[in-house]
Amino acid sequence: MTGMVDVLVVAATARELAPADGWRTLCCGVGPVEAAAATAAAIATVRPALVLHVGIAGARRASGLVPPALVIGIAAHYTDLAIPAAWAPSVLTPDAALLTAAQRACPDAVRRAIGTSARVGGTLGGTVGDATADVEVEAMEGFAVLRAAALAGVPALEVRAISNAIEETDRARWAFDAAFAAITEATPPLVAELRRCVS
């Protein structure tokens, strides 16, 4: 991977990635550690102008979000990191222009803060820095990908498709296929709109 590319699309697994059509893709692995390390290495090599992080996620039952709803991340909360904010950031927010572009691409998507935890259900009753986390959507890599991008000075955005209720422990009842289809279908229009922010 060498040379300048405009958009790097990052997902934890191959099933969350749409076939590349003029953009670069990265399977970063599952969980915040794998995601941060892989994304940082890819950014250093590829030098993208923008990172789009996509994937599936869980939502609290009380949120009213059901599969395969699309969620544009207005903030990424690292709920596993319960330390003072002065020691390390635990909340990141994307540029407003990226949020606007994503909403144009996916007009039916909702905007929510998305929690990042290394374990399923890790955002339930979690904390962010010194405060209790208040997130309705949970995934495992978002904050890590956005933090790697932020440290490299690259704008980044997280977009998810809901596959399950966070409280549902029976994975046989998760709507994987519908969520994978929703996020891969959303990726091309997202890339097209986000590309205008960096062109």
Instruction: Give residue-wise pLDDT tens across range 26-55.
Output: 999 999 999 999 999 999 999 999 999 999
Where is 34: in which H helix or E strand?
Answer: helix 32-46
Query: Which pLDDT belongs to residue 138?
Result: 95
Q: Is 160 in contact with 55 (CB distance < 8 Å)?
A: yes
What pLDDT was estimated at residue 118? 86
Residue 101 has a pLDDT of: 97
In whole angstroms, give the CA distance from residue 119 to residue 140.
7
Rounded mean pLDDT for each run of 10 residues along the chain, 199 residues in total: 72 97 96 97 96 97 96 94 82 95 97 91 62 79 98 98 94 96 98 90
CATH of domain 7-198: 3.40.50.1580
Q: What is the distance between the alpha carbons of residues 31 and 142, in angstroms, rounded to a whole number?
A: 9
CA distance 144 to 97: 21
Cut 0.75: pTM above it: yes
Q: Which two tokens stand for residue 54?
A: 């996509």
Taking the C-alpha atoms of residue 196 and residue 138, their distance in angstroms, rounded to an integer, is 28
Q: Which residue, chain included where needed, has tokens 């020691």?
A: 87
Q: Do the Cβ atoms of 28 and 34 come closer than 8 Å?
A: yes
